[in-house]
Amino acid sequence: MRVLVIEDDQETASFLKRALKEQGHVAEHAADGQTGLELARVNAYDVLIVDRMLPKLDGLAVIGALRAEEIRTPVLILSALGEVDDRVKGLRAGGDDYLTKPYAFSELLARIEALARRTSPEEGSTRFVVGDLVLDRLSHKVTRAGEAIMLQPREFRLLEYLMKHAGQVVTRTMLLENVWDYHFDPQTNVIDVHVSRLRSKIDKNFATPLLHTVRGAGYTIRDSAH
């Protein structure tokens, strides 16, 4: 994955570059909005990580300029402004996701991987398949090894989101935001309990577990046989 980091704080930028490289990604860096915009115009990146407050041209203006030129590269906005209103402003400006500083790197990584995958054809498919687990988005039916699994509507959407991002790490915050549409901290480990309920329905009576916990990051659904 080729990532452009537009961030004026040198230390944050080099931390991000190093961490992304450790994960096997190619990371480039622009220290101000103007340079960032020019790089994003010329090169094909999979994801842009844009700080909201930048010298020369602020983050939202960079995104606005790119979108005006029909450059649809997914953008993750990084900002110290974390209120709901700020978020909405960022997404309206053309950002695809919003992460508040300070953040855990695992959270950022999971989000940019989800963003880069968004452009894949799986987005529009009506069936998700992971191993012998099948989710049909049209008939709202879930089967494992041909056996029907009964899920509550919310459990269905939770599984659907996990399967759409199969093989990727999905964080608790991402689940809370995308499955429940809540952008606040629920104080308690509510998501964990929901996931463990789902796990008991899809994994309990089968030999190979599909839903895995990624320590310190979140969850992932994948067929471990592969």
Partner 1 sequence: MTALTKLFRTTTFRLSLTYLALFGAAAAVAIFYIYWNTTVLLTRQLHDTIDAELKGLAEQYSAGGLTRLVSTVADRSRTPGNSLYFVADAEGRRVAGNLSAITEELSQSLGPVEFEYSRPAEGGIETRLAFANVFKLPGGYRLIVGRDIEDRRELARVIRSAMLWGLGVMALFGIGGGYLVSRNLLARIDAVSATTRTIMEGDLTGRLPVNGSGDELDRLSQNLNLMLARIEQLMAGLREVSDNIAHDLKTPLSRLRNRVEAALREPYAEPAYREALERTIEEADGLIKTFNALLSIARLEAGAAGDNKESLDVSELVRDVAELYEPVAEERGIMLKADAVGPVYTRADRQLLGQAIANLIDNALKYGAPDRTESANGVVPEVSVTAGAAGSMAEIAVTDRGPGVPAGERERVLGRFVRLEASRSEPGSGLGLSLVAAVARLHGGALRLEDNDPGLKVILSLPTEAQPRANGSAKQAAPGSELRPA
> In this structure, what are the phi and psi dihedrals at residue 91, rounded to the nearest 5 degrees?
-70, -35
Q: Which of 102, 139, 204, 225 binds partner 1 (CB under 8 A)?
A: 102
Binding mask 30-59 for partner 1 (x = CB under 8 A): ------------------------------
Interface pick for partner 1 out of 108, 149, 156, 162 (rule CB under 8 A): 156
Give dist(CA 11, CA 65) in Å, integer.
26
Beta carbon of residue 140, minimum distance to partner 1 (angstroms, whole number): 7
Rounded to a whole number of angstroms, the minimum distance from the CB of residue 39 to partner 1 is 26
Pick from 83, 129, 167, 205: which binds partner 1 (CB under 8 A)? 83
Binding mask 136-155 for partner 1 (x = CB under 8 A): -x--x------------xx-
- How far CA 66 is from CA of 52, 96, 174, in Å, comes to 15, 13, 25
Which of 53, 57, 65, 91 binds partner 1 (CB under 8 A)? It is 91
Q: What's the chain's Rg over C-alpha atoms?
A: 19
How many residues bind partner 1 (CB under 8 A)? The answer is: 36
Span from 61-69, 71-79, 172-180, 218-226 in contact with partner 1 (CB under 8 A) = 172-180
Binding residue (CB under 8 A) for partner 1 from 44, 84, 150, 225 = 84
Contact (CB, 8 A) for 135 and 122: no
Closest to partner 1 by CB, 37 vs 174, is 174
Half-sphere exposure of 46 (CA within 13 A, CB side): 17
- What whole-number distance in Å separates Cα of residue 97 and Cα of residue 129? 26
Binding site for partner 1 (CB under 8 A): 82-85, 87-88, 91-92, 100, 102, 104, 137, 140, 153-154, 156-157, 160-161, 177-190, 193-194, 197
